[in-house]
Amino acid sequence: MLEQLQELHVQALDELSRISEPDELELWRVRYLGRKSGVTQVLRSLATLPLEERRKVGARANEVKSALESRLIEKKRIVEEVHLISALEQKRLDVTLPGRPVSTGRSHPITQTLGEICDIFKSMGFQVFEGPDVEWDYYNFEALNIPRYHPARDMFATLWIDSEMEGRLLRTHTSPMQIRIMEKTRPPIRVIIPGRVYRYEATDATHESMFYQVEGLAVDENITLADLKGTLFEFCRRLLGQERRVRFRCDYFPFVEPGVEVAIDCLACNGGGCRLCGYTGWIEILGAGMVHPDVLRKLDIDPEVHSGFAFGLGVERIPMLRYGIEDIRLFYSNDLRFLKQF
Ligand code: PHE
């Protein structure tokens, strides 16, 4: 039996020396130290041996067992270390490489401009509302004093919605929201409505088929053209500079009387005349006017008691003027080289 143990010891150590994989180590442990291993069997059979021999064999078997156990622990450490080193070498990280830049998003220049515009009007007591892009003929035209066959419909090249229901269109301006607000609310009213509008037109550097407007509406007792002028004058200067000059001239829109167009002196030439302003020195940014009595009457607001002003502002104009952007189409062509500048 002592010989058997000796042989086992030698064989086990020989096999262990050739192992290089962690999985094989476990198999080796089961084979030489497990419940069915030679050493365990020897230890189990001790009871059948005469006392003298039992002592010797028992002592030797325990020696072999603990020797194998400690060699296993040693070997395990070595195998794991070798494995770790080769793993580290394969997945080598070059910590001296420069990091990859993280690109952060930003809001669109039009979104930024809308935010500024809304902030200015909010500070003057206006509430912000939004309305539907798909409108009814009634709100876009009829209720705004533009009945069917009215020549003013030619001012708005309209995109009609092709569906079972007649009279639906993509709103050509934000003015239909004047009607929706006055239907639902009684004066005093002070609101602005930012939103997209659509025109059926060939696009070029100054025309897009989709663009933004901000509508404004104020209705109360004793509202006069002076209120319109004061509000828009203040707005233009807060948005585009305290030194701006603001010009009001007569214009025509069927839903206001009188109607005005509002222009500011050109930012590029300060009114001297340049390519940007078509050598006029002025840039038109708003259509406005006093709400037409017929419009008020249709909404059960008595024009003898209440009056109001309304305006519509073209939004793209503003960043185009400020940053010298010469083509409106850049805003909606999703070119990151352009958008990243803002
Ligand atoms: N809705 C007009 C346009 O798009 C602008 C406007 C709004 C004019 C309100 C007067 C009053 O041209």
Residue 49's CB is within 10 A of a number of other CB atoms, namely 15
186 and 249 inside one domain: yes
Residue 319 sits in a domain of what CATH number? 3.30.930.10
Record the tokens describing residue 135, joined without a space: 């409108």
Task: Write down which residue in 39, 59, 90 finishes a domain.
Answer: 90
**Which residues, at least 6 apart from 74, have a Cβ–Cβ distance to it below 8 Å?**
none
Query: How much is the pTM?
Result: 0.73
Mean pLDDT of 174-196: 97
- Whether ligand 1 lies within 6 angstroms of the CB of 310 is answered as yes
- Whether ligand 1 lies within 6 angstroms of the CB of 175 is answered as yes
- Whether ligand 1 lies within 6 angstroms of the CB of 314 is answered as no
- Whether ligand 1 lies within 6 angstroms of the CB of 312 is answered as yes
Res 51: pLDDT: 84
Q: Is 275 within 8 Å of 248 (Cβ atoms)?
A: no
Q: What is the mean pLDDT of the chain?
A: 92
List the residue whose alpha carbon is closest to atom 10 of ligand 1. 288
Q: Is 19 within 8 Å of 79 (Cβ atoms)?
A: yes
Res 20: pLDDT: 86
List the residue whose alpha carbon is closest to atom 7 of ligand 1. 312
Q: Which of 253, 255, 285, 295 to mutate to test the pocket of ligand 1 (most atoms within 8 A of CB)?
A: 253
pLDDT digits (tens, 9 = 90+) for 38-60: 888 888 888 888 888 888 888 88
Mean pLDDT of 264-292: 92
**Which residues, at least 6 apart from 253, have a Cβ–Cβ distance to it below 8 Å?**
152, 259, 287, 289
Give 125 or 40, the one with higher predicted confidence: 125
Residue 333's CB is within 10 A of a number of other CB atoms, namely 9
- Whether ligand 1 lies within 6 angstroms of the CB of 282 is answered as no
Assign 15 a pLDDT band (cuts: 50, 70, 90): confident
Res 154: pLDDT: 81
| HSE, side-chain direction, 13 A CA sphere, residue 35 | 0
65 and 173 inside one domain: no
Res 55: pLDDT: 86
Ranges of beta strands (E only) in the chain are 127-128, 134-136, 159-160, 168-170, 189-198, 210-221, 246-251, 256-265, 282-291, 306-314
Residue 101 lies in a domain: no
CA distance 311 to 286: 7
Q: What's the domain range around 33?
A: 2-90
